[in-house]
Structure 1
Amino acid sequence: MDVRPLTEPEGPAPEQIGKALERGLTYLQNHQYPNGEFCCYIAADKLMQGPCVPDHTVLPTAAIASALLALADHPKAVAILTRTIPFFDYQMMRGGVVNFFALRNPLFQLNPPDADSTACVAAFLDAWGVIYPRNSVRALLLANQRGGAGIGNWFVLRPRLMRQRTYWRTGLRALKAPLASWRFWQQHGYSRNDRGGVANANVLHYLSVDGSSLHILDYLVALVRNRKETDRDPRYRTPITFYYALGRCYRANPTPFEGVRSLVLERLMTFRQPNGGFGESLLETAQALSALSAWGGKPEIIRQAANVLLAGQQYYGEWPRALHFYASLGSPLGWGSEELTTGFCLEAIMAYQRWEQQEMANT
């Protein structure tokens, strides 16, 4: 990890934070496509130092937009988020579901819409007060549940009696190119029964905890208790992302997750590096900082991670690219970009700032 060593025992000063946020938002504003999308590359190495190919996708832009909600009162963030709305509106399919790949991507025809992308886009639109087929999205997500084992990743037909017309229209889409679709699934190692902790945490964050989503809550808690945070998850391979996503649910409603809070904090610490960062990249450090701020980690650990993050900001205000979204099980290919890392870093810095303000208020 290319960062300067820690020398200060305290966290970043408010003026440092303000400058970092301003530079990061300026970078994102200058690098957003005219249609509202953000660049995302596909590469084979985790730090993306080798060949990188631009790829049109939806979920990375949704992740950036969701992260920038933490800065929703900043004029530059407002301008960025407003530009993403037409992009998301154009990508929504029948019933409001969303595909990981953008419409202009050739793989859009082969890949089914997924719960993760759909929940992330819908949660952002909800937060931004945008009208979309909300009732349909919620109904389709709940219809995709897997008998107490959380929500399935893919919107595909399952052997069950369903009376929702939109459910059948969405699932039958794969029959448009059955052979090519089958080859795509075989090539990437996907399964109709795929499910994942991060996707389910994103769905729960969107739905919130209530009687209809308790099975998702139980599934997520069981993943933590049984050390299966990345079990059968074809898209995310680091548990840090899971703790980050689950932390958003904890921040919204701590009570259902109090029983696993100590486990989450203990396991997050296993990824801590000697310099105070986490994982193998600044992207993972950013997600860890957001998670620690949400779950209530030790103050000195949180402040050191914040120092590492600010030290890692680059010349134009960005943070280095690193893989985040993965293509398939057993494949090194994945997606990432400076824009994606920068979005997570800005969110983490804001989370740190609010945590620090709370700490000061409590003393």
Structure 2
Amino acid sequence: MDRLNQIALSRLNQVEQAVLRGIDYLYQHQYPNGEFCCYRALDRRMQEQCTPDSVAAPTAIVANTLLGLNDHPKVSAVLVRAVSFLDYQMMRGGACNYYALRNPLFPLCPPDVDSTVHVGALFDALNVDYPRADMRSLLLLNQGNNGALYTWLMLRPRPTLNRLYWRTGLRIVKRPFDSLLFWKKQGYRRTDVGKVINANALYYLGLSEATQPILDYLVKLVHTKQEPASDSWYRSPITFYYALGRLIDKGVRQLENVRPVVLERLLSHQQPDGLFGESPLETAQALSALIYWQGNPMVIERTATVLLAQQAKQGEWSRTVLLGREPGKTAGWGSEELTTGFCLEALTSYRNWLKKRDTGKLSYTPIA
């Protein structure tokens, strides 16, 4: 028993040291204004035409991955700076734009659901004051006929007297020609509907009568095997399983019925060396998803081992594209900071999982 305790303590210490190095990296690499670096590139590994880009949403994403570590003084300081940056970026009614205010594309791009819900979820978690009711109204006015939310917060053919809805939607009318060129060049469509984006939206909005159609839409995607198909923003199907797993973790128990299917498909993306997908980012999301979905403990252990081995000396994990459309045709965004955030989130969940396992409180139901 002493030998087993020593092994468990050694493992926990290894994870703790990796988490601390990752925290130090993010603390040292956050810009003074609270923003996190994000690169724009044409290839998935971000080696081709890779340049820094000022975008707001990645900072919100990184900050959300750190919420489980908010008791650490450096993380707390990082979150305070991130909130200050994001609060300055927020538009009327709480809507948020993917591009930062100083980005020349900001006036041409409408606010979007994903950026908005990431900021909203962060502010809710940290009890930050913001126009919460207005934000939620804008989001729900963006539902399509199938119940899913469109990606972009724009005017739709629907009767409403909501002033914020009209003000938000009419924003791009100020520069119609430039806006038209923007949409054509970027490859976006006004009718884009993102699978991961809708999962993120449901995570923020919570399950209710108004959002039940979003959940129905997500479950249908799994049953009809549509989740690996092209998303309007996130490229990896692993990200979809991770996003659904966050909902399970938040208490959306209706997703339990798709647990065997999700775990089977998630495991199909594991490589012979234990890496998931093509990157540490996907491996981190897979580790989080495995824990959320109560995956096989042996697979969880192996995935955590692989992820720990991928950490660089300075505490970071390598960058890869997280956000963007088709690689090679349109730009994708990612950074070491984004990847590191997801890795820290996964290792924090793994650390908590280890503690439950070692105290006999771990629940695992094998798939029949």
TM over 0.5: yes
Which one-letter code corresponds to 2:223 in the other structure? Answer: R
Question: For the Cα contact (< 8 Å) 1:11–1:306, is it kept in 2?
Answer: no
Could you tell me which residue of structure 2 aligns to residue 269 of structure 1? 267
Contact 2:44 2:327 in 1 (8 A): no
Q: Which consecutive unaligned segments of at least 5 residues does structure 2 have?
A: 1-6, 363-368
* Pairwise CA distance, 1:125: 0.4
CA–CA distance in structure 1, aligned partners of residues 160 and 327 of structure 2: 30
- The answer on 1:362 being equivalent to 2:361 is yes
How far the C-alpha of 1:192 sits from its partner, in A, is 1.3
Separation in structure 1 between the aligned mates of residue 319 and residue 207 of structure 2, nearest angstrom: 34
Q: State which of 237, 241, 244 in structure 2 corresponds to 1:243.
A: 241
Deviation at 1:238, TM superposition (A): 0.8
Native 8 Å contact 2:12 2:354 kept in 1: no
| 8 Å CA contact retained: 1:188, 1:328 | no
Does the C-alpha gap of structure 1 residues 322 and 161 become closer, same or farther in structure 2, counting only changes over 3 Å? Answer: same
Q: 1:189 aligns with which of 158, 183, 187?
A: 187
Instruction: Using CA pairs under 8 Å that are at least 6 residues apart, name the structure with larger relative contact order, 1 or 2.
Output: 1
Q: Does 1:103 align with 2:101?
A: yes
Give the letter aligned to residue 66 of structure 1: N
Q: 1:247-284: per-residue Cα shift (whole Å, max 9, x none)?
A: 11110114110111111101001100111110000010
In structure 2, the residue matched to 1:41 is 39
Distance in 1, Cα, partners of 2:48 & 2:178: 29
Structure 1 residue 231: Cα displacement: 4.3
Q: Are the equivalent residues in 2 in contact too, given 1:10–1:304 (CA < 8 A)?
A: no
Q: Closer, same or farther in 2 for the Cα pair 1:307/1:257, shift >3 Å?
A: same
Distance 2:166 2:102 in 1: 24
Does the CA-based 8 Å contact 2:55-2:99 persist in structure 1? Answer: yes
Higher mean displacement: 90-99 or 144-153: 144-153
After superposition, the C-alpha distances for 1:63-95 in whole angstroms (9 at most, x for unaligned) are: 100100121111111111111111111110011
Deviation digits for residues 217-251 of structure 1, max 9, x if unmatched?
10111111111115452211110011111111110
Task: Name the counterpart of 2:153.
Answer: 155
Post-superposition offset of 1:328? 5.8
Given the alignment, which residue of 290, 295, 310 partners 1:312? 310
Kept in 2, the 8 Å contact 1:290–1:347? The answer is yes
How many angstroms does 1:50 deviate by? 3.4
Give 1:288's aligned residue: 286
**Whole-Å Cα distance in 2 between the matches of residues 133 and 47 of structure 1?**
38
TM-aligned CA deviation for residue 30 of structure 1? 0.4
Deviation at 1:187, TM superposition (A): 1.8
Aligned 8 A contact 1:321 1:338 in 2 = yes
Q: Which residue of 1 aligns with 2:83?
A: 85
Q: State the TM-score, normalized to the length of structure 2.
A: 0.93
Equivalent residues of 2:245, 2:292 under 8 A apart: yes
- What is the aligned partner in structure 1 of residue 58 from structure 2? 60
Q: Which of 186, 206, 210 is the aligned partner of 1:212?
A: 210
| Paired residue total | 355
In the alignment, is the contact (CA less than 8 A) between 2:235 and 2:326 conserved in 1? no
Match of 2:323 in 1: 325
Unaligned segments of structure 1, at least 5 residues? 1-8
Does the residue aligned with 2:189 lie in a helix, a strand or coil?
Answer: coil
Which residue does 2:253 correspond to in 1? 255
**2:3 is matched with which residue?**
none
Structure 1 length as normaliser, TM-score? 0.94
Give, as a single letter, the amino acid of the residue that structure 2 aligns with 1:294. Answer: Y
Q: How does 1:138-149 map to 2 (within 5 A)?
A: 138-149=136-147
